[in-house]
Amino acid sequence: MEQKKSSFGTAIIIGISIVISCIALAFGLSHFRSESTHVISATGSASVDFEADIIIWRGEFASVAYTSQEAYTKIKKDAELVKNYLTSNGISESEVVFNSVDIGRTYKDNYDENGNYIGSEADGYRLTQSVTVSSGNLDNVEKVSRDISSLLDKGVELTSGSPEYYYSDLDALKLDLIDKASINAKDRIDIVARNSGAKLGKLKNSSLGVFQITAKNSGTGSYSYDGAFDTSSRHKTATITVRLEYDLK
């Protein structure tokens, strides 16, 4: 009899404990959901149009001859012609860098009397050298990169690359955009809070979006997930976003 009473009492205690646990869990979840909604967030953005102040232009020229010595003599002559062309067009020697010469063999294909391919054999050397111009005189370098006909007339096989455009004070520009995007995000939060009758508490979280540099007037379609960095356009647009999250009182 005593054993039955003891078992009955134990069951009651276990039942009460389960009920209390359920009530506590329900209260905790309700409290968690309530707390998680007591925030307000907004994303602000800022952008600025700017013009590059550094231009980089690259070109490459080559010489081909039966012997490596002949090819080297030719490419040295071509390098001097390229240098004279650049300096005579207002580019200083300090803005010009000639890279090392690359050397490779050239081959010709051999065929039998029936026109079947039977192999190839070395028949000479091909030397290539690249030149890089880095300058703050954008207009002049653009003109030089377009007008290389005089070099071609002198027998220099120069291939001209497209100019690349950069900005020297990018860090300062980025910091200014972050400041403006943060202000924009806070203004949006203030408007929402004011219109909804809420009062802001402390800043809970902030995050910085991807820094984008695109060609001016290219549109948001030029943005990329990991950040666009346009170097092909002289006139550019920089954009950044900042997300702020505040507690509500």
Q: What is the pLDDT at residue 113? A: 87
Instruction: Report the 10 Å Cβ neighbour count for 97.
Output: 12
This prediction has a pTM of 0.77
Residues 47-79 have pLDDT tens digits of 999 999 999 999 999 999 999 999 999 999 999
Q: What is the mean pLDDT of the chain?
A: 86
Instruction: Give every CB contact of residue 16 below 8 A, 6+ residues apart in sequence.
Output: none
Residues 113-152 have pLDDT tens digits of 888 888 888 889 999 999 999 999 999 999 999 988 889 8
In degrees, to the nearest 5, what angle opens at C-alpha 246 toward C-alphas 175 and 31? 150
Q: What is the pLDDT at residue 69? A: 95
For the CA atoms of 90, 91, 94, 97, the dihedral, rounded to the nearest 10 degrees, stands at: -150
Q: pLDDT higher for 27 or 178?
A: 178
What is the average per-residue pLDDT within 203-214? 94
CA neighbor of 133 nearest in space, from 178, 82, 174:
82
- Alpha-carbon distance 87 to 146, whole Å? 15
Position 222 pLDDT exceeds 90: no
Please report, as a single letter, which amino acid is at residue 217.
Answer: N
Instruction: Give every CB contact of residue 140 below 8 A, 6+ residues apart in sequence.
Output: 89, 90, 91
| Three-state DSSP class for residue 161 | coil
What is the average per-residue pLDDT within 182-202? 93
92, 144 in Cβ contact below 8 A? no
